Structure formats: C-alpha cells, structure tokens
Amino acid sequence: MDTRVTIAGVELKNPVMTASGTFGSGAEYGEMVDLNRLGAVVTKGVANVPWPGNPTPRIAEVYGGMLNAIGLQNPGIDVFIERDIPFLKQYDTRIIVNVCGKTTEDYVEVVERLGDTAADLLEINISCPNVKEGGIAFGQDPKAVEAITREVKRHAKQPVIMKLSPNVTDITVMAKAAEAGGADALSLINTLTGMKIDIHRRTFALANKTGGFSGPAVKPVAVRMVYQAANAVKLPIIGMGGVTTAEDAIEFLLAGATAVSVGTANFFNPYATMEIVDGIEAYMKKYGVEDVKELIGAVK
C-alpha cells in the first residue's frame, strides 16, 4: 500500500499534516503525538519580528466549531530559526513553515531568512482574518494575490504554497491569481470570518469582535472550495477546514486535495492526526486502494 504524495516535488510519507496555528511548532504536542508519523508539520505563522497578537478573550466556542482571534502571536523569525526548526529537524517529517507579514517586504524578509534552513516548503498566509494589515488585505484582491505570490516566488528557495481565504465571492479567481503569480501549490481554506455575541453580558465574545470560524461545521464549505479550486487550476491543493476524522480527510482527497491539514481537531483530540493516518490506511485496505494518489480528485 502506497500512502506517499508529492507536493511541488517534495514527497510526503502520507497526506496528513497539521494546520498552521493549531499545533505550535510541534513541541507542545510532542508528548502525545509521534511527529514521525505525520506527512508534514505546518508551523504557526512566523513574521520578521515577534508579534504580541490580540487582547483576550481570543477564542469562543460556537455550535460545531470555534472562533479564534489570536492575531498571529509569534516569536519572530530569529527565535524560530534558532529553536523551532532544529526541533522539527529531529523528526522524520516534512517541515512546512507558515509565513505571515504586514507588508510585502515583511513576507520577503522571512522567506529569504528561511532560504538556507531545513524548511521543505513555505506556506504564505495571505488570509488571516484577524490582523488588519497584511493577512486578509492581500487575500481578497486577485491582483494583490498575484503580485505578492510573484514577489515571494522571486525570493524563495523552497516551493511556495499560497494559503487562500474563503471570505471571497469566487475562490477560483483567487486560485487562478496565485497560479498566475507562480505559486507551486495552494492551501485552502483559512477560517471564515464570524462573530459571537454574549447575550448575558451584552458584549462580543471576542475582544477583537470578529474571529475566524473553524471546526467540523465549516467542512462542507471547505470541501466545495477545494473541489472548485482543484478544477480551476493545475496546482496541487492542501485541503483543510474541519478535518476531524479519516473520513473527512478522504472526502477532501476525493474532492481534489493532494493532502489535508488537521486543525481545530487537535484542540479537542490531540491524537487526531495519528488516528487520521491510521484511518486512511484502513480505508485503503477496505476498498483495495493500492495507492492513495488514486483517491485524489477521483470524484468529478
């Protein structure tokens, strides 16, 4: 049975990875998850300098999901290169570094710093709904998506994955813009912008008022967008949005994803990633699937 998949020339032992921001850089989960079993670890977004993030409360539970407005708190690229990459290098898994910034120059600076590190792939976050500058500002305008993709590609040594926002009218327009800019792969979806109001205190549940909606409830939206993007561009797609079980992961593969990222599920089941790896193998065995690649985009 072959569970390997390839993204932009980088081979992964299986199509299961972590979603940025839900897994730190792996260290916090190291006691409970054997990182060697994962196709890749996608790190929490890293900027050129440390970011303090948003005020608390930063999260709220909603029906079938959660809202978060962490605001991309991160230690900055210096600490990240010194501490987090060497940590991940100890494991037999691929390292995908999620990059965030407020300006094009910020992204370029981080991408250049990562050039000589052990990072296998770069995932460029142009879709965080919780930071005003950068993030979403780049991700909702196709011209901006194409321009930043091109600029990042010009400076990147590693293949570049553009992480797209679902908070757009037509995801295929953004997918095509990233492809035109030279992206090597796409990640989708980032979180949906949401809001919760505490009716007893008559205030917003999040200090940031709005937050990114994630968890099992968003999966149908994500599957639809992965399917649309996969049919609009030739790039490999990393599918995410509510992946909680192996069944969810397989659904994304069938819709056209080459790999999946497990996000919010890590918060309520720290063993989710490993269970999904096992579950995909069990599914392949049950249905006589020799190669996991047979599943990718198999539902037209």
Partner 1 sequence: MAQVKTEAEVRSQEKLAEGVYSMVLYAPRIAGEAKAGQFISVYTKDPSRLLPRPISLCGIDREKGELRIVYRVAGAGTEEFSHYRAGERVQVMGPLGNGFPLKGKKAILMGGGIGIPPMLELMKELDCERTAVLGYRDELFLNEEFAPYGNVYVATEDGSAGTKGNVLDAVRENGVEGDVIFACGPTPMLRAIKAYAAEKNLECYISLEEKMACGIGACLACVCQSKEVDHHSHVHNKRICKDGPVFAAEEVEI
Interaction site with partner 1 (CB under 8 A): 21-24, 28-29, 31-32, 44, 50-53, 56-61, 63-66, 68, 70, 73-76, 79, 215-216, 264, 266-271
- Quick one: 44 or 163, whose CB is closer to partner 1? 44
- Quick one: 77 or 233, whose CB is closer to partner 1? 77
Residue 147 CB, shortest distance to partner 1, in Å, is 30
- 76-110 burial by CB neighbour count: b if 16+ within 10 A, else e? ebeebbeebbebbeebebbbbbbbbbbeeebbbbb
Check if 100 is active-site: no
Within a 10 A sphere around the Cβ of 150, how many other Cβ atoms?
14
Instruction: Give Cβ neighbours of residue 59 (< 8 Å, ≥ 6 apart).
Output: 66, 67, 68, 69, 70, 206, 211
- Quick one: 217 or 235, whose CB is closer to partner 1? 217
Residue 44 CB, shortest distance to partner 1, in Å, is 8
Locate all alpha helices (DSSP H) within the chain, ordered by sequence.
76-79, 85-89, 104-114, 136-139, 142-155, 171-180, 219-230, 246-255, 265-268, 272-286
- Quick one: 30 or 182, whose CB is closer to partner 1? 30
- Quick one: 44 or 94, whose CB is closer to partner 1? 44
- Quick one: 22 or 258, whose CB is closer to partner 1? 22
For 34, counting Cβ atoms within 10 Å of its Cβ (0-12 exposed, 13-18 middle, 19+ buried), the class is middle
Cα-flanking dihedrals φ and ψ of residue 283, to 5°? -65, -45
Q: Which residue among 128, 171, 237, 255 is the active-site one?
A: 128
Residue 239 CB, shortest distance to partner 1, in Å, is 20
Residue 139 CB, shortest distance to partner 1, in Å, is 21
Residue 191 CB, shortest distance to partner 1, in Å, is 13
Residue 201 CB, shortest distance to partner 1, in Å, is 12
Do the Cβ atoms of 113 and 53 come closer than 8 Å? no
Rounded Cα distance, 226 and 85, in Å = 29
Please count the residues of the chain. 300
Do the Cβ atoms of 188 and 162 come closer than 8 Å? no
Active site residues: 128
